[in-house]
Amino acid sequence: MAAIEVTEDMIFQCFAAAEQREQRAKTAESFIDVEEYEGKVMYPEFARWAEKAGFPKLATLFRKVAGEESLHAVWLRDLYREIGVPTRGEDTQRAVDALQTIQQRCDALLALNPTSVIEKALRVALAVEEREYANIYPGFRDQAKAEQDERASRVYQKVVDSERQHAEWFRAALHEFPSASAVPV
């Protein structure tokens, strides 16, 4: 069997992109979808990979971030109680499908080159978190400010700050990789 190389792009496809919409409730729905996906699917899967590859501290970091991503969904759902439980978006379903395909291949790849797979997962995690704190969620915050909704603006800013912290953790872990001895947990 020829080895299938997992690329950062393949892993990045696991990330369901949040979308800013004209109606803030639709933005919130998209945001919740993404945060739940990261908290329940993407980061737990990265943790499984790290554990299996012999990087338990990285697995702990991925699980910690997964918990915080789920918390972001709780914050936003509390802010927009009227939207209820959002349906799973097409992007998220595509991401789940991609993850299932990647998961089937990754166990074999982990056996061949665990360090490379984990490094790529770290790079994807860093890119996702940087994109969220620098590009995506500030727009949600600014949209709330423009609508003079200070409560929503504060919640979005709290998420921006949290996503920035996640990026810092992943950046530090990547800097220390592959030893991962100084991973901040």
Tell me the per-residue pLDDT of 1-27, one tens digit each, with 9 for 90 and over: 455 566 777 665 555 555 666 776 666
Query: Which amino acid would we find at residue 41?
Result: V
The pLDDT value recorded for residue 51 is: 94
Confidence of residue 160 (pLDDT cuts 50, 70, 90): very high
In a domain, 185, yes or no: no
Average pLDDT over residues 97-117: 76
Q: Which residues 6+ apart lie within 8 Å of 86 measured at CB?
A: 29, 30, 32, 33
Q: What is the mean pLDDT of the chain?
A: 80
The pLDDT value recorded for residue 42 is: 85
CATH number at residue 172: 1.20.1260.10
Higher pLDDT, 41 or 101: 41
Enclosing domain of residue 80:
8-176
Query: Which amino acid would we find at residue 101?
Result: T
Residue 179 clears pLDDT 90, i.e. is over it: no
Residue 146 clears pLDDT 70, i.e. is over it: yes
Q: Which residues 6+ apart lie within 8 Å of 156 measured at CB?
A: 137, 138, 140, 141, 144
Tens digit of pLDDT for each residue in 40-80?
888 998 999 999 999 999 999 999 999 999 898 888 888 87
In a domain, 110, yes or no: yes
In a domain, 21, yes or no: yes
Query: Which amino acid would we find at residue 152?
Result: A
Tokens 């990045």 belong to: 12
The pLDDT value recorded for residue 20 is: 62
Decide: helix, strand or coil at residue 182.
Answer: coil
Confidence of residue 138 (pLDDT cuts 50, 70, 90): very high
Pick the closest to residue 45 from 20, 15, 87 (CA basis). 15
- Please state, in angstroms and as integers, the Cα–Cα distance from residue 75 to each residue in 13, 33, 54, 107, 140, following that order: 25, 13, 34, 34, 14
The pLDDT value recorded for residue 184 is: 47
- Count: domains in the chain: 1
The pLDDT value recorded for residue 102 is: 67
The pLDDT value recorded for residue 75 is: 87
- Give dist(CA 49, CA 63) in Å, integer: 11
In a domain, 124, yes or no: yes
In a domain, 184, yes or no: no
In which element (H, E) is residue 46 found?
helix 43-52
Confidence of residue 155 (pLDDT cuts 50, 70, 90): very high
Between CA 127 and CA 180, with CA 9 as vertex, the angle to 5 degrees is 50
Residue 107 clears pLDDT 80, i.e. is over it: no
The pLDDT value recorded for residue 167 is: 98
- Give dist(CA 132, CA 43) in Å, integer: 15
- DSSP classification of residue 131: H
- Please state, in angstroms and as integers, the Cα–Cα distance from residue 10 to each residue in 79, 145, 165, following that order: 33, 35, 25
Is the preceding peptide bond at 44 cis, omega within 30 degrees of 0? no
In a domain, 25, yes or no: yes
In a domain, 80, yes or no: yes
